[in-house]
Amino acid sequence: QVQLVESGGGTVQAGGSLRLSCAASGRTFSRYAMAWFRQAPGKEREFVAAVKWSVGNTAYADSVKGRFTISRDNAKNTMYLQMNSLKPEDTAIYYCAANDVGHMATTSNLWTSWGQGTQVTVSS
């Protein structure tokens, strides 16, 4: 089972940028579809973006489309989320997720591996 560790979170002003990373252990990273979810205090975990086995197959939540870019580097066993034009409503704990089926479902309970999360705070 793949182990996931997020990093890159922090506090930024509205309009700023952050790049999150998700490092995966193991030798089978390229077999996993990967995704980012986020959870704000008092809210349900929500889908942000997903990438299949290559960057040519991606999906984004409407709320982040045009501002966030998901990518992966299979040689480094790492997935990234480039976040630009950040808004206060982007404040949340961001989690990376993986599944070895290859789907890009937006429902969190259909993903089988999760990282510990990294906090993103956007001030106004």
d(C-alpha 108, C-alpha 9), whole Å: 21
Q: pLDDT tens digits, residue range 46-55?
A: 999 999 987 6
d(C-alpha 1, C-alpha 97), whole Å: 12
Question: What does residue 17 show for φ and ψ, rounded to 5 degrees?
Answer: -135, 150
Q: pLDDT tens digits, residue range 56-109?
A: 799 999 999 999 999 999 889 999 999 999 999 999 999 999 998 989 999 999
d(C-alpha 65, C-alpha 15), whole Å: 15
Q: Would you say 69 and 17 are in contact if contact means Cβ atoms under 8 Å apart?
A: no
- Which among 22, 23, 32 is positioned nearest to 1, based on CA atoms? 32
